[in-house]
Structure formats: structure tokens, C-alpha cells
């Protein structure tokens, strides 16, 4: 079956020749027309559209956006804040940065519609420190939008006002965790908060109800408001509506970002057709489907089980190539859609070394607040580093798995899972490679195998 | 006593046992009530909950209800409401009780969680217990024994961190031992209101440190040492001095102000090594000031009085009492009592004044309060002097009326119970005009000029009670034997009372109390032996109109402000 055409909703103008990130260009292409119409509607109607659209968060967890909004405490009398999570730091993910760099007004329009729908009067864009240009672009775009009456006081003459502020992070992965982000935004160390009681919807930024949404999610809100929730929900597949940007990196012919209707493209179509297949003379070995914290998939393994297709339950028997790239299917086979970062590894890759790299990242990024993640992530890194440096023991794989098992599910935030899942899945699926790594490391490199540096 | 309103009770099930606890109680405290130990490091009952150590993970279940009808879902097998057990463990410290909450602490999952956290905490810990001051009172040791695996799987290099960081004049930090529980940070910020501590770096390399240019030097810094669950924070005073398991613990009271913080005095073979706070939720919670911890140094101070002196010559107690009696019987006597004396001593001081027909004075000591555990009244027991009837009104500064009476020639002999009269306000001329009988612990100008000097005991060497600013009578006990040559104040006072022609009274706390209870109405229903460790409130009504100097502090509001707060 040939791969479907890309459906570019969010990325419609990305890399378009002549398209610039200023407001004039955005308005020439129909920009802010959705906001103009939205502010004439009732906020409740807009919230309803988002609920009907079935939009799911694009940051990683895939939580329903409509439900997230409905959980917000609107009776406390406190102000409600919108925090835009632009701390795109999951390895393998590079979608939000293109929105910010090339189409910032799409994000601002989405923010303003969201704020109007939720009666938010202050929105904060928390952008990762490594995007200094992105922050400057956003600042300029906000100033443009403000002077054009799309942001700031009295938006489009409605009397409703909302300010948007840009806050730059200082370079920490954990600031992408919503409560860590909120702490950082408040000027503290980004230690994620314990939940309960500190659910952002009730006790978020400055202990006020807060909505934290990903950049891409907010752009989708604009399109939901534009076409209506019903129409939006017909894009994609049931329960996995809309489009999704997939960021493919690693050992394929054409890595890059591709936007598809959710669930309409399979992993095989994506890698083999859209991305042009493996590099010459190589074969796919493994793929991480949703950012480096998602569990790895091994080419050649089969996933069997039952799933709901509409009203009935059908059996499925998939190889990696057959998996539809949607939230539910990837969760069903034991991984996740996550942030949409598809990391491909071919047969030149040592899984031990790949895990060593991932572990180095997570141990460096653990905030250090709670014990299992703080100590476990560094321990796993030390083990894999030792293995890679020639001191591997056959029992290290089992030890790694046991350490990872002591982390997942026992931490304050989802970082525990993020740092444990790679190790758990690498060992589960490539355990033999870990067991034999010590011997393999000592063996001379076969002719023709490229040296990895 | 005013009873607090009955709290809403919530029934929970912990390891199969039902218990009703007040709403808002967390699972650690609820479990404590049924003697189920939930181990923890970062949780502290008097600090904000952060849930970072993950040692208190337990299994949690809630009663099942039908999502649509909200009707309870019953389990046909047991006939009781079904329990939905959470697949993930929950931290007991941040889980408050809710009706029907079920907790399991003995399952394999909980055991695994605890073993995992213990292992993680120890992999980068130096395990230098043999040279660590915390050994013997270390939560890592206790819980590694109770909940750890007993062996290590860690073969990598441990992290290296600073070993000797002086955070302030009294607190030393060993960062390698630190388990990053953040108790000290929360204490400094929230209780001491001196936000100077924080972490730098991240992950396992996180390091406790002071903010740039700041020091942990507030007068409560040593509480961080107390609450440090491991040996990371140590007291520069106690560090490397003594193994804690050799030390005897004696309950005492901090005498530096009228707050009356409850303390424990740690001693061995007659020497005191440290003083730490003792929990009293109505007085000092679990805190005390650093300044109060150094008071023990007075016990072995070189200026300690160790010999009876009569007219400047070494003598014996019998002769001293005789010499004093001669002076007392000659008339023209004034007694300067002390707000630092115990209730018992003040009672006998009153008796001495009565027997020698003297008027009694008290030395006023007023300083600045810190709003926490040091009050404006630096006498620990002015209220005791009021309650025992030694004085009827608050002492005025400077012993003014006594000076005037000396100048008028009405007073020729002054008995001073531990007070330096010169410092208290008498002029050298006034002092040289009278014969002084001095009962005290340390040499000063008054003891140097006194006709009779009888060395007595410090608060650490005797028993007694003190009445704090709340009118709470609290007991202190003898931690170490009295210094050689010194005599118990009660013995000296009782003998002086008798020698001056007064009644024969008990010369120790136990035998004196019946007399006190009989004569002091406010204490009529009490006995020294039956006082609880946390003290007992005396009805303050007879004295409530007096203009006490204390401002608000922890668990204390001045009488006027109490009314305002209630209104």
C-alpha cells in the first residue's frame, strides 16, 4: 500500500519559498482571520469545539486537550494562566522550533484563541534556552500582533485583553515537565511538583489555575476553531484526530519532518517510502517512535493482540512496519507516540552504545530532586559507560534492567519513566547484545563496518 | 483547660487495621498511630511536604464506586466495598487520609520500593559510618538495616563532592553524605526565615550550599543539624567529640528566655556534650535557638565558684550558714531573688524573706525578642516568682527601690540568689554599704565583695520547675552531678530559712512540693512528680493584667493580642 500524501495543516507554510515570519506575510495568507471570528463567539462554544475535535496534546503524553481545559478550576476567583510549553527538548524532536522560527504568528493566533476560550488574561511562552533566535522572533511577533490589536489590551475592539510574555529557559530538559516548567517560570529551580496536590489545573503558576499546552497543540486549536470541532475530528482516525508532525532522524535516506493525518501512515510507509528507506547496504535494526524516552521497537518482532476498530474488536498481528503512527496503536504495542520524534537505527548501531548515549543524556538532565531518578539515572549511565569503555560484564544487562525497574513508577514526575523506559526496552529486546557485548567489544572490527566516532 | 473542637474524624484501613484519625492527617502519621512504621527521610512533621526521598512509598487503594451512579461497588466474596488498588505506589507523606482509604505497607511492591530507594541512597554515599558523628542516630543506618537488602551491587566510582564546607560558624557540611532531602533548606526558609541554603548543580551531582555571599549563621542554624537525617550537617561544637550511644539523655529547659524551649541534655561521665531540642508542640515544636545549646559550657567554666567563703576566707557550709544567720537575725535584710531560679528555689527564697522579715526583689532582664524562641524577657521564670508569691508585681529595671532603701540606711544585709547586684543596678557605694550573702554558681563582682559566698548549682546539675511565658510549668532534671564544692540551692536555702528562724522545709524537690502545693494556690492540684514532660498550664487569670514585656513568638501571643485574635 503506498503511503498517503502528507496533510500539512500546521506545517502548511514551513519551508515555503517567500514565506516570512512577519505579520504582514501571515495576514496575506489569511492570518488572524480565525481569531477575528473566534472573539465574536462565546468562549464556551470554542471550548466545546476543542472538546468535539478530540484534539490530543502533542507534547508527549497525548492527553485530551478538551479534558485538560475542562479540569481547570474556574470557581476559585483566581486568574487563570496559559503557559505555552516551547521547551522542546526531547531528543529526536524538532517540530515546535519550525513553528516558532518560520510561522510564529500561527502560534500566537492559537494562543489568543485558547486564552479567549478560557478567559485567560496572561499567557507565558516558556521557550528553551537553546532557542535564542526563537525567543527574539516570538518577541517581535508578539509586538507586531500587539500593535495590530491581536494581543494586548482590548483585542480587536472586544474589550477583552490578554498579554503574552516570552520567558527563556536556561537549558534544562526537566523544564519541559509542566510543573518543573512552572517552578522555573516562577524563578525557582525546576523541581517538578508532587501531584497531588499541585495539579496545574488547580494549583499551577503562582498557585493559580494554569493550562499548560504544547506549541503544536495550540496551533491545532487555531485550526479547530477555524474548521470546527466536528470537521477537525474527521481528520485522522477516531480517537486520534487531526494531523501529526513526525520528526524522523537517524539512519534513513531522507530524515526530516513530515505531517500526516494521525494514524493514516504506518511506520513502514514512513521509513521506507516517505524517508526513502535505509542507507545503502544497511538494514533497519531498531526505531524509537516517540522521542528518546519512548520504548524502542525492534525490526522483526511481532505485536499481536486485540484492538477496537469502530464498534468491533479485531485481532492484529503487526510487524514494526505495520504499526499506524497514532497515539493508541503505539501505546498498544508497548511504546508511545510521545513527541513524534522517530529515531531510526540501522544494523551499524551497537545497542549498548546507543543506550549509553541515551543514559548519558538522562543522567545529565535528571533534576536531582527525588532519589530513584537522581541516583538511578546516573548509575545506569555509569554502567553503560563502563561497558562501552571495555569493562562490560555479562551480568550488566540484568543489573541495568533491575536498576531501571527501581525507577519507573516511583518518582515525582514522568522523568522516572523517561529515563527507565529506554533501558528497560533495550534490555528486553536486545538482551543478547548486552550479554555478549564484552566479547564483541574485544573482537576486531569486521572489514567494511564503518568506525563510529 | 480549653478543649480544642473535636476534629472531623476519618476512618482508614492500614495493613488491615481500621483507625479513625483527624481529617488532614497524612498516612505516615496515621500509620504511626497503629504502630505501623513507614520509613522516610525528607518528611518532617513541622516542615512543608516535598516528597522527594520516595522512601515512604506505600500501596494505596480507594473504595470502588460506580462511575455513573456513585453507588459503592460491593465485593460479593467479602460482602464489603471493593477496593481499587492503585497500580503505582504513592508517597505516604503527601497522601492525606480520606474516608475508606486503604494502605498496605507489607506487600512485595512496598518492600521492593524501599529496597530500591535504600540502594539508591547508598550507592553514592561514602559509608564512612566509623568516622561519622551521625552514626548511632542515623536514619540511613536504621533504615538500611530495617528495609535495605544488606548488600551492594554498585561497582562504579562514587561521586566526589566537597567534604568540609563550613556553612556558617556552627554548621559543617559533608556533601558526600547528603541525601538531598532538603529539610535544612525548608527549615531555613520557612521556620528561621533566613533563606540562605539551596542546591547547585543537578542530578546526582546536586550539592547543598549557601547562596553566594550568604552564611548559615542565624541563631537557629543548629536545628538543621538536628533535622539532618544523615551525617551531612554536623555541629562544629559537637563534631568528633563523642559517640552518641555513650551519651545519657536528660530532659531540661532552655533558660535563656521566658519561652522555655524544651531540651535534652546529652552527657557522659559527668560532662555535657550537647543540648538538643525536645519536641513540645505547644512551646517550641522541635526547635531551639543555637545560643541555648551553648549554655552547658557554664558548667565547667573556670569562673565557677567551688568553695564556701566567709569574709573572704575558705570555710565550710555550716559556718557559712551560721555567719549568714547572724547577719539575717540582725535585721535590715533585703532579699534579691532571681527570675532564673526554679519555682522551688523561689518558694524558698520567699520563705527566707519572710523568715528574715525582708522585702524581696527580683532582677529584671529585658532584651530583644526574635519572635520565634527567644522572648523579650530573658529571665526564664519571672512568672514562677509571681506564682510562688515571691513578688507581687513585675520587677522594675535597676533594683531602684532597693538602692534607695540602702541609701536610707534601712537595709544593711542583702541576700543575693545568684544575681550580680552591681550589674543589676546597685552602685559601688551602695554595695559597700551592705553585707552581702551570695548564693551563686559563678564568680562576679558581687561574689568578690560578699561576706558570705555559698556556691550552688547550675540548671544542669539540679532538679526543678520553671514557669514560662504561657504560664506553663515545666520540669528540668539533673543531667550531671554538681560541681565539687557546690551545694544544691534548695539545701542552702532551706538551711538559711531554718537558721533565720523560719520553718524547717524540705531540701529537695520531692519533699518540698507538698509545702508548695499547700501554700501556692495555683499549684495546689499539681505535684512535681506527676508533671507531664510537656508541662502543665497554670491558670494565668490572677496575673493576666500585668504588663508583661513579651511580644508574640512561636505558640505565644501576648494577652491583649490573644483577645484581638479571638475577636
How many C-beta atoms surround the C-beta of residue B297 within 10 A? 10
| CATH assignment at residue B372 | 3.40.50.740
Alpha carbon distance A178, A181 (integer Å): 5
Q: Would you write out chain B's pLDDT as a tens digit for each of its 567 residues? A: 455 566 789 999 999 999 999 999 999 999 999 999 999 999 999 999 999 999 999 999 999 999 888 889 998 888 889 999 999 999 999 999 999 999 999 999 999 999 999 999 999 999 999 999 999 999 999 999 999 999 999 999 999 999 999 999 999 999 999 999 999 999 999 999 999 999 999 999 999 999 999 999 999 999 999 999 999 999 999 999 999 999 999 999 999 999 999 999 999 999 999 999 999 999 999 999 999 999 999 999 999 999 999 999 999 999 999 999 999 999 999 999 999 999 999 999 999 999 999 999 999 999 999 999 999 999 999 999 999 999 999 998 888 789 999 999 999 999 999 999 999 999 999 999 999 999 999 999 999 999 999 999 999 999 999 999 999 999 999 999 999 999 999 999 999 999 999 999 999 999 999 999 999 999 998 988 899 999 999 999 999 999 999 999 999 999 877 655 543
| Interface contact flag, A406 B54, Cβ < 8 Å | no
**Domain count of chain B?**
3
Indicate whether B85 belongs to any domain: yes
**Which residue out of B114, B204, B206, B209 would a mutagenesis test of the A interface target, given it has the greatest number of A Cβ atoms within 10 Å?**
B204
How many C-beta atoms surround the C-beta of residue A281 within 10 A? 9
Our CA-based measurement puts residue A378 at a distance from the nearest CA of chain B, in whole angstroms, of 7
- Give the predicted TM-score (pTM) of the model: 0.94
Q: What's the confidence (pLDDT) of residue A442?
A: 86
Indicate whether A11 belongs to any domain: no
| Interface contact flag, A376 B120, Cβ < 8 Å | yes
Alpha carbon distance B566, B563 (integer Å): 5
CA distances from A427 to A405, B60, B307 (A): 11, 30, 79
Q: Do B343 and B406 sit in the same domain of this protein?
A: yes
Chain A contact for B371 (CB, 8 A cutoff): no
Indicate whether A127 belongs to any domain: yes
Tell me which residue has cell 530559712: B497
Alpha helix ranges (H) inside A321-414: 327-332, 351-365, 371-386, 396-405
Chain A contact for B118 (CB, 8 A cutoff): no
Q: Dump the DSSP string for B304-351.
A: B--S-EETTEE--HHHHHHHHHHHHHTS-EEEEE-TTS-HHHHHHHHH
Residues of A near B (Cβ–Cβ under 8 Å) read 172, 189, 191, 194, 196-197, 363-372, 374-379, 382-383, 386, 399, 402, 406-407, 409-412
CB B441 within 8 A of CB B306: no
Q: Do A136 and A115 sit in the same domain of this protein?
A: yes
Q: What residues of A are in contact with residue B88 (Cβ under 8 Å)?
A: 409-410
Q: Do B223 and B331 sit in the same domain of this protein?
A: no
Indicate whether A4 belongs to any domain: no
Chain A contact for B204 (CB, 8 A cutoff): yes
**Domain count of chain A?**
3
Exposed/middle/buried for residue A262 (C-beta within 10 Å: 0-12, 13-18, 19+): buried
Our CA-based measurement puts residue B91 at a distance from the nearest CA of chain A, in whole angstroms, of 9
Q: Do B410 and B500 sit in the same domain of this protein?
A: yes
Q: Do B534 and B411 sit in the same domain of this protein?
A: yes
Our CA-based measurement puts residue A309 at a distance from the nearest CA of chain B, in whole angstroms, of 25
Mean predicted confidence (pLDDT) in A250-278: 96
Chain A contact for B124 (CB, 8 A cutoff): yes
Domain that holds residue B447: 309-562
Of B241, B263, B294, which residue constitutes the final position of a domain?
Answer: B241
Q: Which of A371, A379, A406 sits opposite B156 (nearest CB)?
A: A379
Indicate whether B186 belongs to any domain: yes
Q: Do B90 and B132 sit in the same domain of this protein?
A: no
| CATH assignment at residue A380 | 1.20.1440.230
Nearest CA in chain B to A381: B156
Q: Do B364 and B226 sit in the same domain of this protein?
A: no
| Interface contact flag, B50 A194, Cβ < 8 Å | yes
Q: Which of A363, A406, A410 sits opposite B203 (nearest CB)?
A: A363
Mean predicted confidence (pLDDT) in A249-258: 96
CA distances from B287 to A268, B296, B372 (A): 65, 17, 10
CB B285 within 8 A of CB B297: no
Nearest CA in chain B to A405: B116
Our CA-based measurement puts residue A368 at a distance from the nearest CA of chain B, in whole angstroms, of 4
Alpha carbon distance B139, B230 (integer Å): 6
Nearest CA in chain A to B88: A409
Domain that holds residue A295: 242-346
Tell me the CB-side half-sphere exposure of residue B145, using CA atoms within 13 A: 7
Dihedral of CA atoms B326, B331, B332, B335 in degrees, nearest 10, equals: 60
Q: Do A226 and A368 sit in the same domain of this protein?
A: no
Torsion sign across C-alpha atoms B286, B289, B294, B298: negative
Indicate whether B439 belongs to any domain: yes
Mean predicted confidence (pLDDT) in A136-165: 96
Indicate whether A449 belongs to any domain: no
Q: Is B167 helix (H, G, I), strand (E, B) or coil?
A: coil
Q: What residues of A are in contact with residue B116 (Cβ under 8 Å)?
A: 372, 406-407, 410
Q: Do B89 and B193 sit in the same domain of this protein?
A: no
Tell me which residue has cell 503524553: A61
Of A346, A369, A393, which residue constitutes the final position of a domain?
Answer: A346
Q: Do A176 and A199 sit in the same domain of this protein?
A: yes
pLDDT exceeds cutoff 90 at A311: no
Indicate whether A6 belongs to any domain: no
Bridge partners (DSSP) of residue B454 are: B439
Q: Do A226 and A317 sit in the same domain of this protein?
A: no
Exposed/middle/buried for residue B477 (C-beta within 10 Å: 0-12, 13-18, 19+): middle
Our CA-based measurement puts residue B121 at a distance from the nearest CA of chain A, in whole angstroms, of 7
Q: What would the grid cell of residue A314 be?
A: 479485531
Nearest Cα residue to B456 out of B496, B430, B495, B484: B484
Query: Number of H helices and number of E strands within chain B?
Result: 16, 26
CB pairs under 8 A between A and B: 99
Alpha carbon distance A402, A410 (integer Å): 14
Chain A contact for B539 (CB, 8 A cutoff): no
Indicate whether A174 belongs to any domain: yes
**Which of B 85-104 lie inside 8 A of A, CB atoms?**
87-89, 91, 94-95
Q: Do B338 and B482 sit in the same domain of this protein?
A: yes
Q: Do B63 and B135 sit in the same domain of this protein?
A: no
pLDDT digits (tens, 9 = 90+) for A173-203: 999 999 999 999 999 999 999 998 999 999 9
Q: ∠ at Cα B436 (B298, B443), nearest 5°?
A: 20
Q: What's the confidence (pLDDT) of residue B567?
A: 39
Q: Do A207 and A246 sit in the same domain of this protein?
A: no
CB B223 within 8 A of CB B287: yes
pLDDT digits (tens, 9 = 90+) for A404-449: 999 999 999 999 999 999 999 999 999 999 999 999 888 887 777 7
Q: Do A341 and A357 sit in the same domain of this protein?
A: no
Mean pLDDT of chain A: 95
Mean predicted confidence (pLDDT) in A380-392: 96
Strands A210-214, A163-168: pairing is: unpaired
| Interface contact flag, A370 B53, Cβ < 8 Å | yes
Q: Do A61 and A203 sit in the same domain of this protein?
A: yes
Nearest CA in chain A to B199: A189
Q: Which of B57, B154, B206 sits opposite A410 (nearest CB)?
A: B57
Phi and psi of B562, rounded to 5°? Answer: -60, -45
Q: Do B318 and B427 sit in the same domain of this protein?
A: yes
| Interface contact flag, B203 A383, Cβ < 8 Å | no
CB B471 within 8 A of CB B383: yes
Residues 6+ apart with CB under 8 A from B295: B254, B255, B256, B275, B459
Query: What share of chain A in percent tops pLDDT 70?
Result: 99
Q: Do A164 and A288 sit in the same domain of this protein?
A: no
Q: What share of chain A is helix, strand, coil (3-state, %, to 5)?
A: 45, 15, 40
CB B461 within 8 A of CB B486: yes
Q: What's the confidence (pLDDT) of residue B3?
A: 54
Q: What would the grid cell of residue A196 be?
A: 497531588
Torsion sign across C-alpha atoms A238, A242, A246, A252: positive
Indicate whether B298 belongs to any domain: no
Q: Do A84 and A206 sit in the same domain of this protein?
A: yes
Q: Do B30 and B134 sit in the same domain of this protein?
A: no
Q: Do A175 and A252 sit in the same domain of this protein?
A: no
Indicate whether A10 belongs to any domain: no
Of A234, A261, A276, which residue constitutes the final position of a domain?
Answer: A234
| CATH assignment at residue B159 | 3.30.70.20
Chain A contact for B123 (CB, 8 A cutoff): yes
Mean predicted confidence (pLDDT) in A15-31: 95
Q: Do A205 and A146 sit in the same domain of this protein?
A: yes
Confidence of residue A60 (pLDDT cuts 50, 70, 90): confident
Q: What would the grid cell of residue B70 be?
A: 456513585
How many C-beta atoms surround the C-beta of residue B112 within 10 A? 15
Alpha carbon distance B226, B8 (integer Å): 33
Alpha carbon distance A63, A336 (integer Å): 12
Of A346, A362, A391, which residue constitutes the final position of a domain?
Answer: A346
| CATH assignment at residue A299 | 3.10.20.600
Q: What's the confidence (pLDDT) of residue A1?
A: 76
| CATH assignment at residue A132 | 3.40.50.11540
Q: Do B102 and B145 sit in the same domain of this protein?
A: no
Q: Do A223 and A253 sit in the same domain of this protein?
A: no
Of B222, B241, B260, which residue constitutes the final position of a domain?
Answer: B241
Indicate whether B207 belongs to any domain: yes
Q: What would the grid cell of residue B1 be?
A: 483547660
| CATH assignment at residue B17 | 3.10.20.740
pLDDT exceeds cutoff 60 at A364: yes
Indicate whether A400 belongs to any domain: yes
Indicate whether B225 belongs to any domain: yes
| Interface contact flag, A371 B156, Cβ < 8 Å | no
Nearest CA in chain B to A370: B52
Alpha carbon distance B77, B447 (integer Å): 83
Amino acid at each position: 500500500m503506498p503511503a498517503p500524501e502528507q496533510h500539512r495543516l500546521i506545517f502548511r507554510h514551513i519551508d515555503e519559498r517567500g514565506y516570512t515570519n512577519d505579520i504582514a506575510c501571515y495576514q496575506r495568507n489569511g492570518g488572524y482571520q480565525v481569531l477575528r471570528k473566534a472573539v465574536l463567539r462565546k468562549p464556551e462554544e470554542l471550548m466545546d469545539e476543542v472538546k468535539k475535535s478530540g484534539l490530543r496534546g502533542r507534547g508527549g503524553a497525548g492527553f485530551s486537550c478538551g479534558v485538560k481545559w475542562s479540569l481547570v478550576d474556574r470557581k476559585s476567583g483566581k486568574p487563570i494562566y496559559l503557559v505555552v510549553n516551547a521547551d522542546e527538548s526531547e531528543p529526536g524532536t524538532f517540530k515546535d522550533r519550525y513553528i516558532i522560527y518560520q510561522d510564529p504568528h500561527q502560534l500566537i493566533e492559537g494562543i489568543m484563541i485558547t486564552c479567549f476560550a478560557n478567559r485567560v488574561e496572561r499567557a507565558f511562552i516558556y521557550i528553551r534556552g537553546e532557542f535564542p533566535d526563537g525567543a527574539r522572533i516570538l518577541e517581535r511577533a508578539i509586538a507586531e500582533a500587539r500593535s495590530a490589536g491581536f494581543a494586548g489590551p482590548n483585542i480587536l475592539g472586544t474589550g477583552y485583553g490578554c498579554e503574552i510574555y516570552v520567558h527563556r529557559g536556561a537549558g534544562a530538559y526537566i523544564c519541559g515537565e509542566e510543573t518543573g516548567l512552572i517552578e522555573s517560570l516562577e524563578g525557582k529551580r525546576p523541581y517538578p511538583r508532587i501531584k497531588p496536590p499541585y495539579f496545574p489545573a488547580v494549583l499551577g503558576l503562582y498557585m493559580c489555575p494554569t493550562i499548560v499546552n504544547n506549541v503544536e497543540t495550540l496551533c491545532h486549536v487555531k485550526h479547530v476553531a477555524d474548521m470546527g470541532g466536528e470537521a477537525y475530528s474527521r481528520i485522522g482516525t477516531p480517537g486520534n484526530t487531526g494531523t501529526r508532525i513526525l520528526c524522523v532522524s537517524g539512519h534513513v535516506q531522507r530524515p526530516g519532518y513530515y505531517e500526516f493525518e494521525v494514524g493514516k501512515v504506518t511506520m513502514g510507509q514512513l521509513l521506507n517510502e516517505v524517508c526513502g528507506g535505509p542507507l545503502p547496504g544497511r538494514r533497519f535494526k531498531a526505531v524509537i517512535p516517540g522521542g528518546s524516552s519512548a520504548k524502542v521497537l525492534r525490526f522483526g518482532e511481532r505485536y499481536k493482540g486485540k484492538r477496537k476498530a469502530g464498534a468491533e474488536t479485531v485481532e492484529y498481528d503487526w510487524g514494526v512496519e505495520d504499526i499506524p503512527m497514532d497515539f493508541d496503536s503505539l501505546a498498544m504495542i508497548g511504546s508511545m507516540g510521545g513527541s513524534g520524534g522517530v529515531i531510526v537505527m540501522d544494523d551499524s548501531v551497537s545497542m549498548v552504545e546507543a543506550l549509553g548515549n541515551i543514559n548519558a543524556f538522562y543522567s545529565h538532565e535528571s533534576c536531582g530532586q527525588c532519589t530513584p531518578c537522581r541516583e538511578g539515572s546516573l548509575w545506569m549511565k555509569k554502567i553503560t559507560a563502563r561497558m562501552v569503555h571495555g569493562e562490560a560484564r555479562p551480568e550488566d544487562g540484568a543489573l541495568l534492567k533491575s536498576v531501571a525497574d527501581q525507577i519507573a513508577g516511583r518518582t515525582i514526575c514522568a522523568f522516572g519513566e523517561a529515563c527507565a523506559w529506554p533501558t528497560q526496552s533495550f534490555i528486553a529486546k536486545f538482551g543478547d547484545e548486552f550479554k555478549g557485548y564484552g566479547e564483541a567489544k574485544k573482537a576486531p572490527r569486521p572489514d567494511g563496518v564503518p568506525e563510529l566516532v | 483547660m480549653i478543649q480544642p473542637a473535636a476534629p472531623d474524624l476519618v476512618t482508614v484501613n492500614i495493613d488491615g487495621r481500621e483507625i479513625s484519625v483527624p481529617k488532614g492527617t497524612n498516612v505516615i502519621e496515621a500509620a504511626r498511630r497503629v504502630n505501623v512504621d513507614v520509613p522516610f527521610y525528607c518528611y518532617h512533621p513541622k516542615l512543608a511536604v516535598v516528597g522527594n526521598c520516595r522512601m515512604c512509598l506505600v500501596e494505596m487503594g480507594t473504595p470502588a464506586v460506580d462511575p455513573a451512579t456513585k453507588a459503592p461497588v460491593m465485593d460479593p466474596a467479602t460482602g464489603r466495598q471493593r477496593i481499587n488498588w492503585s497500580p503505582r505506589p504513592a508517597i505516604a507523606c503527601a497522601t492525606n487520609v480520606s474516608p475508606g482509604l486503604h494502605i498496605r505497607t507489607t506487600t512485595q511492591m512496598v518492600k521492593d520500593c524501599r529496597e530500591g530507594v535504600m540502594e539508591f541512597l547508598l550507592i553514592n554515599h561514602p559509608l564512612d559510618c566509623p568516622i561519622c558523628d551521625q552514626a548511632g542516630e542515623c536514619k540511613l543506618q536504621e533504615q538500611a538495616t530495617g528495609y535495605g537488602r544488606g548488600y551492594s551491587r554498585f561497582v562504579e566510582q562514587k561521586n566526589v563532592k566537597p567534604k568540609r564546607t563550613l556553612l556558617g560558624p556552627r554548621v559543617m557540611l559533608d556533601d558526600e553524605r547528603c541525601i538531598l532531602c532538603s529539610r535544612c533548606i525548608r527549615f531555613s526558609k520557612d521556620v528561621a526565615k533566613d533563606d540562605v541554603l539551596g542546591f547547585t548543580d543537578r542530578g546526582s551531582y546536586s550539592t547543598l550550599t549557601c547562596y553566594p555571599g550568604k552564611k548559615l549563621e542565624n541563631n537557629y542554624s543548629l536545628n538543621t543539624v538536628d533535622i539532618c537525617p544523615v551525617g551531612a550537617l554536623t555541629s562544629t561544637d559537637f563534631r568528633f567529640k563523642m559517640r552518641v550511644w555513650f551519651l545519657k539523655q536528660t530532659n531540661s529547659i532552655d533558660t535563656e528566655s521566658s519561652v522555655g524551649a524544651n531540651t535534652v541534655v546529652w552527657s557522659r561521665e559527668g560532662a555535657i556534650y550537647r543540648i538538643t531540642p525536645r519536641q513540645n508542640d505547644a512551646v517550641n515544636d522541635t526547635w531551639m535557638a543555637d545560643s541555648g545549646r551553648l549554655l552547658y559550657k557554664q558548667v565547667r567554666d573556670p569562673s565557677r565558684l567551688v568553695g564556701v567563703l566567709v569574709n573572704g576566707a575558705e570555710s565550710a557550709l555550716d559556718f557559712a550558714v551560721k555567719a549568714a544567720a547572724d547577719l539575717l537575725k540582725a535585721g535590715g535584710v533585703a532579699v534579691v531573688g532571681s527570675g532564673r531560679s526554679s519555682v522551688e528555689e523561689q518558694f524558698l527564697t520567699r520563705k527566707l524573706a519572710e523568715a528574715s522579715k525582708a522585702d524581696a526583689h527580683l532582677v529584671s532582664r529585658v532584651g530583644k525578642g526574635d519572635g520565634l524562641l527567644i522572648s523579650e524577657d530573658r529571665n526564664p521564670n519571672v512568672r514562677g516568682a509571681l506564682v510562688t508569691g515571691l513578688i507581687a508585681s513585675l520587677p522594675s529595671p535597676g533594683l531602684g527601690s532597693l538602692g534607695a532603701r540602702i541609701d536610707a540606711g534601712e537595709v544593711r544585709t542583702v541576700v543575693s540568689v545568684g544575681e550580680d547586684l552591681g550589674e543589676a543596678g546597685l552602685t559601688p557605694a551602695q554595695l559597700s554599704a551592705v553585707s552581702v550573702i551570695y548564693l551563686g554558681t559563678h564568680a562576679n563582682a558581687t561574689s568578690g565583695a560578699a561576706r558570705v559566698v555559698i556556691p550552688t548549682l547550675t540548671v544542669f546539675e539540679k532538679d526543678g520547675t520553671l514557669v514560662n511565658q504561657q504560664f506553663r510549668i515545666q520540669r528540668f532534671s539533673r543531667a550531671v552531678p554538681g560541681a565539687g564544692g557546690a551545694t544544691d540551692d534548695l539545701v542552702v536555702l532551706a538551711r538559711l530559712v531554718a537558721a533565720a528562724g523560719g520553718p524547717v522545709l524540705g531540701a529537695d524537690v520531692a519533699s518540698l512540693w507538698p509545702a508548695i502545693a499547700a501554700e501556692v494556690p495555683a499549684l495546689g492540684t499539681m505535684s512535681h512528680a506527676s508533671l507531664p514532660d510537656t508541662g502543665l498550664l497554670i491558670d494565668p487569670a490572677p496575673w493576666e493584667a500585668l504588663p508583661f514585656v513579651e511580644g508574640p513568638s512561636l505558640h505565644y501571643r501576648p494577652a491583649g493580642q490573644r483577645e484581638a485574635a479571638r475577636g
